[in-house]
Amino acid sequence: MRICSWKSIIATAALATVLASVSASGQNIPRLADGKPDFNGIWDRPRILDITRDSNACGSGAPTKGCVQKGSGELSYTAWGREQWSGPRFDYAARCLPWGYTRAMQTAYPIEIMQTPKRLAFLFESNNVFHVVPTDGRKLPENQDPSWLGYSVGRYEGDTLVIETTGFNGKTWIDTAEHPSSEQLRVTERLRLIDADHVEQVVTWTDPKTYTKPIQNTRVWSRMKAGEELMEWWCMENNKDLLEGHLVDTHKTGNEQ
Amino acid sequence: MKATLAALIVGLLVAPLPAVAHHAFAAEFDSKKTVIVKGTVDKVEWTNPHIWIYVDMKDEGGTVTRWQCEGGSPNTLTRQGWSRESLKPGQQVSIEGFRAKNGSNTCNSRVVTTADGKRLFAGSSFGQ
């Protein structure tokens, strides 16, 4: 517990430092021709195994600095949610099924943002998948078919890009610590450029079937140095863990991940 | 200054960064069962989602046992400065790791050390 507290203090201090150093944000950020903030780039992010916890290390392995994760602290489950959380289960990602949207956002591997005035795409190195976010004013579709990554729309509120994502299939976990979600999950992300090389991402999960109140994380992503590119990453290439039967069912296992 | 910088770079390379798992650590390995695998590298698979190091370990009676130990992903290791040629077949190696829960001669490598004392691919997905 003491370690957690220190980590929390360090993450909070790191976050405060980054935010304070750029309190006059908006002055020197890159912009598209239409004046919108320009998020194009390859971003290193904190690797987040557990959304309840803090972390301040960039995940990619490159010596990038400045990544921050401020976790949510303890979660408040509904009866259904607690049942999902405490039961034994097998990690679908070990079978190389998709991470799910927010778990994909939390891997150690970098993401690239490709942005035009009316569309933005996240390219995930992990599993080499993509996710498109229209920003042309359309509404979220109704009667969405359930999906792993959900359906997103984005809008700009000043210099903040707000992305709403729904239409999940309920099969994904919010994180590798196995926090469950349902098809009622709604994810709201608020992205803003703190400066030319840092993005603040505030993520809010709302899932009334699983949790009694919204969950929030605040993160800082750091731009990777020029010359870095996304690499190949195929989960099933040499997935001996699965193919040779090393894997076992898990459930909540304390600090082990 | 150069020496300091070199030391810093080496420090970064051997820092205990996590091997990146695509599943929970506890789904495969037992953090309470540590193992030291010492022997000759037969091959290294520099593949996603994890690299694998195959080691032939000889006991005092001369019996050879084949071990396989999982490491990080090529992507993360490459960005840490390692390459597919950092460890080669025929090299003597000592791997400190955690055993697989299924009882096979499989481990998650925590520390990989070559005969000349160089530490490679440092890190484990445990506790991260």
- pLDDT tens track for A124-153: 999 999 999 999 999 999 899 999 999 999
Alpha-carbon gap: A257 to the closest alpha carbon of chain B (Å): 5
Residue B124 pLDDT > 60: no
> Which segment of A83-97, A175-189, A196-210, B74-88 scores lowest on mean pLDDT?
A83-97
Is the Cβ pair B45, A49 closer than 8 Å?
no
Structure-model confidence comparison of residues A252 and A105, the more confident one: A105
**Which residue of B lies nearest to A103 if distances are taken between CA atoms?**
B22
Question: Tell me, what's the pLDDT at A75?
Answer: 98
Task: Give the C-alpha separation, B21 to A70, whole Å.
Answer: 21
Using a CB-CB cut-off of 8 Å, the residues of chain B touching A96 are 22
Q: What integer is the mean pLDDT of A42-68?
A: 95
Tens digit of each residue's pLDDT (9 = 90 or more) over A17-37: 555 554 445 578 999 999 999
Residue A3 pLDDT > 60: no
**Locate tokens 């400066």: which residue?**
A195
Question: Tell me, what's the pLDDT at A238?
Answer: 85
Alpha-carbon gap: B99 to the closest alpha carbon of chain A (Å): 10
Task: Give the C-alpha separation, A186 to A181, whole Å.
Answer: 10
Using a CB-CB cut-off of 8 Å, the residues of chain A touching B99 are none
Structure-model confidence comparison of residues A27 and A80, the more confident one: A80
B53 touches chain A (CB under 8 A): no
**A231, A237, A257 member nearest B25 (Cβ):** A257
Is the ipTM beyond the 0.85 threshold? no
Residue A81 and residue A180 in contact, taking contact as beta carbons nearer than 8 Å: yes
Q: What integer is the mean pLDDT of A220-244?
A: 91
**Which residue of B lies nearest to A55 if distances are taken between CA atoms?**
B128
Task: Give the C-alpha separation, A220 to A202, whole Å.
Answer: 9
Is the Cβ pair A109, B20 closer than 8 Å?
yes
Predicted TM-score (pTM) of this structure = 0.82
> Which segment of A199-203, A241-245, B52-56 scores lowest on mean pLDDT?
A241-245
Q: What percent of chain A has pLDDT over 70?
A: 86
Residue B8 pLDDT > 50: no
A97 touches chain B (CB under 8 A): no
Task: Give the C-alpha separation, A94 to A91, whole Å.
Answer: 5
Using a CB-CB cut-off of 8 Å, the residues of chain B touching A252 are none
B71 touches chain A (CB under 8 A): no
> Which segment of A12-26, A70-84, A146-160, B53-67 scores lowest on mean pLDDT?
A12-26
**Which residue of B lies nearest to A64 if distances are taken between CA atoms?**
B79
Q: What integer is the mean pLDDT of A189-195?
A: 98
Question: Tell me, what's the pLDDT at A252?
Answer: 47
